Amino acid sequence: MTDRVRNKLGAVADLIRLPKQYGTLLLMAPALWSLVIAADGRPPASLLLVFVVGAFVMRSAGCVLNDLADRRLDRHVERTKDRPLASGRLTPMDALIVGAILSGFALALALTLNPLALGLSVAGFGLAAIYPLTKRIIATPQAVMGVAFGWGALLAWAAVRNEIAAPAIVIFVATVCWAAAYDTIYALLDRDDDLKIGVRSSAIAFGRYVWAWVGALLGLALAGLVALGLLVPLGPAYALSLALVAVIFAHQTWRLRRGTDRSTTFLLFRSHAGVGLLILFGITIDLLSR
């Protein structure tokens, strides 16, 4: 393998954030919550594979779309200036080819699902495509990202039961609040640069009270998850997982209130991947113990 090919492959890996899979876990979590509940704790291996692989593919495709839309802006942001498109390691055509391959793979996965789930898959891809553009239009684009990340809950339920029912809707709403909160934390990393270049974010819109807004969104997400536990219903393992999540959410709100440096802010954001897995663990244990 020549150095040129090696460097190109390395740039593609960076484009799809291959070394940084916490984003995939965040996208996958609500879909798996819904999938496991819809299947009474025993989802078919084929569907489990579709949603695990699909989360990786869709998150990777989303990164490509995001970097294509932001390639000129990313050059002026400290955190993103070395991304492959912003730095010139990849051309827009390179990214379009990668995006087309990922989109084709995503379509192949979606075609294994029933018609309702297939339609929701197409709509979900549309949400992923428009999200990067919302940073130029609305003050809180993180809410749009929350909708995109929560969409998997509706899709997973439809894939199992060929309908959309109340538990899936509750997971969707809770995820919108949860994702808007953790993405606001993430947006704090770029707040100063975003102010300079005119990019909008909830980290800017919420101003000095960003900690309170994040705390409120996390509280709403937790309330939704409690409602889910009562609706299904779920038992002690899920209750314990939510108790731990409540402690994590309260601690994060307190840390943001006190003020954090960049390193701590990023750690707060990244910890939410573990939150999603913790909730999944509680759901699974309770359903399997019935």
The pLDDT tens digits of the residues spanning 70-96 come to: 998 889 888 999 999 999 999 999 999
pLDDT band at 136 (very low <50, low <70, confident <90, very high): confident
pLDDT band at 290 (very low <50, low <70, confident <90, very high): confident
Q: What is the pLDDT of residue 129?
A: 86
Please state, as a whole number, how many other Cβ atoms lie within 10 Å of the Cβ of residue 78: 11
The phi-psi region of residue 165 (left if phi > 0; otherwise alpha if psi is between -120 and 50; otherwise beta) is beta
Q: What is the pLDDT of residue 133?
A: 86
Q: What is the pLDDT of residue 1?
A: 66
Q: What's the mean pLDDT in 228-240?
A: 98
For residue 201, report the phi and psi dihedrals to the nearest 5 degrees: -160, 160
Residue 3 has pLDDT above 80, yes or no: no
Domains of the chain: 3-288 (1.10.357.140)
Q: What's the mean pLDDT in 106-135?
A: 93
Over pLDDT 90: what percentage of the chain? 88
For residue 89, report the phi and psi dihedrals to the nearest 5 degrees: -70, -25
Give the lowest-confidence range in 143-157, 171-185, 187-201, 246-260: 187-201
Q: Which two tokens stand for residue 222?
A: 């937790």
Q: What is the pLDDT of residue 5?
A: 80
Which residue, among 30, 26, 99, has the nearest Cα to 62 in the 3D structure? 99
Distance CA 95, CA 6 (A): 16
Q: What's the mean pLDDT in 127-143?
A: 89
pLDDT band at 198 (very low <50, low <70, confident <90, very high): confident
